[in-house]
Structure 1
Amino acid sequence: MNPAAALRQKAIDEIREADQNFSMLSEKQGLAKAFTTYAADDAIKLNDGAAPTVGFDSIRVQMSRMPANGSVLTWQALKADAAQSGELGYTFGQWMLTSKDNSGKRKTQYGVYVTVWKRQRNGQWRFVLDGGNSTPEPK
């Protein structure tokens, strides 16, 4: 493998790992912890059916307002890719949100997402754009 291809593949592997760790943190410690851990300072979070949330501080405020109803959001990347430079990439995949309705009955929602990742000065990957939308249950 030539050096440029190796650099790109390393970035793809790192982005997949960051995406997986992001989801695991969401599952174990909640959405607020996950999103504030993985958001870049200039991150944009697209919201299904609402205006985007722009900037880390705005994302932190939005996450602090999330109801503590035991909702769990997890996701799995179906595809990841990166620029030849190894500095920018994306993941695309499916998400699942489990929660309880007002009567206490468990419900599950499904969707797809795309996350754009950027390598930070310290070498860590943080998302600069994240969004998704609801879909029917996957077959």
Structure 2
Amino acid sequence: MNPAAAVRQRAIDEIREADQNFSIMSEKQGMAKAFTTYAADDVIKLNDGAAPTVGFDSLRAQMSRQPANGPMLTWQVLKADAAASGDLGYTFGQWMLTKKDNAGKRSSSYGVYVTVWKRQRNGQWRFVVDGGNSTPEPK
């Protein structure tokens, strides 16, 4: 593999891993913790049916309104890619949001997402744009 291709492939692998770890944190520690851990300072989060959330402080405020025992969001990466420079990339995948009603009955909704990742000065990957939409349950 030539050096440029190796840089790109390493970035793809790192982005995929960051996205998977992001989902694991969301499942185990909640959406608020996961989103505020993996977001860049200049984040833009697209919100279904509402204006986007722009900037880390706005995202933290939005996430602070999530109930501690609220819905659980998890996802699976289906595709990842990166620029040849190795400093920008994206993931695309499927998500599942599981909620409990007042009687404790679970229900799930599904969708797809795309997340744009940017390598930070410290070498860590943080998302700069995240959004998705609802879909029927995957078959």
Quote the residue 2:24 is aligned against.
24
Residue pair 1:69, 1:100 contacting (<8 A) in 2 also: no
How far the C-alpha of 1:74 sits from its partner, in A, is: 0.4
Aligned length: 139
How far the C-alpha of 1:90 sits from its partner, in A, is: 0.0
How far the C-alpha of 1:66 sits from its partner, in A, is: 1.1
Which deviates more from structure 2 when the two are superposed, residues 94-103 or residues 23-32? 94-103
Instruction: Give the aligned residue type for 1:100.
Output: K
What's the C-alpha RMSD, in Å, of the aligned pairs? 0.8
How far the C-alpha of 1:70 sits from its partner, in A, is: 3.7
1:63-78 equivalences in 2 (<5 Å):
63-78=63-78
- What's the secondary structure of 2:26's corresponding residue? helix
TM-score by length of 1: 0.97
Distance (Å, rounded) in 1 between the aligned partners of 2:22 and 2:34:
6
How far the C-alpha of 1:49 sits from its partner, in A, is: 1.0
Structure 1 runs of 4+ off > 6 angstroms? none
1:1-139 equivalences in 2 (<5 Å):
1-139=1-139
Distance (Å, rounded) in 2 between the aligned partners of 1:124 and 1:64:
24
Residue pair 2:30, 2:68 contacting (<8 A) in 1 also: no
TM-score by length of 2: 0.97
Distance (Å, rounded) in 2 between the aligned partners of 1:53 and 1:70:
20
Query: Which blocks of at least 5 consecutive residues in structure 2 are unaligned?
Result: none
Instruction: Give the aligned residue type for 1:96.
Output: M
Instruction: Give the aligned residue type for 2:117.
Output: W
Distance (Å, rounded) in 2 between the aligned partners of 1:9 and 1:70:
37
Q: Using the aligned pairs only, state the percent identity.
A: 86
The one-character-per-residue Cα deviations of 1:102-130 (angstroms, maximum 9, x if unpaired) are: 44321001000000000000000000000
